[in-house]
Amino acid sequence: MSDTDSFIEEVTEEVRRDRMFLLLRRWGWVGALAVIAIVGGAAFNEYQKAKARSAAEDLGDKIIAALAENDEAARAGKLVGVEAESAGGTAVVQMLTAAAQSNSGNPEAAVEALNSVATNGELPEIYRQIAAFKALLLQSDSLPAADRRQQFEALARPGAPLRLLAEEQLALIDISEGGADAAVTRLQAIIQDAEASVDLQQRASQLIVALGGTPEPLPGQQG
């Protein structure tokens, strides 16, 4: 490389450095702001996670303390006083409270607590359906069969998480109304359903036998 070429390359490099420094002086604050935003956002996320974790631990401690009560009425009283910061936490507390109220001979209060969960649109469907199902079970002697049938049919719609358990309850309502044949048909369908648990299939089979029927073979056992 000639001296002239070397000189030109050195000058070109100097010009490049000068342009870079000029750009850094002019726009460097943008990069600094981006770094601050990234670091600040990460710190805020960690703070939020720590806050949520602390709230969950605090809620868990309060629930454990309430459940340590041997007397169901006292347990229900303590659970009523437990406050959660999230809709999901509140739902868990209310369902635990309902269980304690039911066991202490106060089904009306239990149904009220469960219905408050069942009608809370902020909760996932599984929470609401479990609460509605439990509330209906507690009203087996107080709610007319027609009303219970209508609500269990809503829980038994295709794709619903408690569909098969609701079908089982509908079969029991069929029996109570003298519809043994309808109950057996419903129970046979439960047995053949691929989503039915072994326990549910066994209960359905036993009930069919009690009604004088013969359970159909389970899927995979035919032939």
Give the C-alpha separation, 187 to 62, whole Å: 42
pLDDT of 20 strictly over 80: no
> What pLDDT is recorded for position 98?
87
Give the C-alpha separation, 212 to 158, whole Å: 29
Give the C-alpha separation, 213 to 187, whole Å: 11
166, amino acid identity = A
Q: Please identify which residue in the block is written with the tokens 């079970």.
A: 137
The model's confidence at residue 174, banded by pLDDT at 50, 70 and 90, is very high
> What pLDDT is recorded for position 73?
84
Q: What is the mean pLDDT of the chain?
A: 81
- What tokens does 157 get? 């719609």
Instruction: Name 97's Cβ contacts closer than 8 Å, sequence gap at least 6.
Output: 76, 79, 80, 110, 113
First to last CA, the chain: 92
Average pLDDT over residues 190-201: 93
Torsion sign (Cα): 68, 70, 72, 75: negative
- What tokens does 46 get? 């960690």
* SS3 label, residue 36: helix
- For 104-142, what is each residue's pLDDT tens digit? 888 999 999 999 999 998 888 989 999 999 999 999 989
The predicted model scores a pTM of 0.70
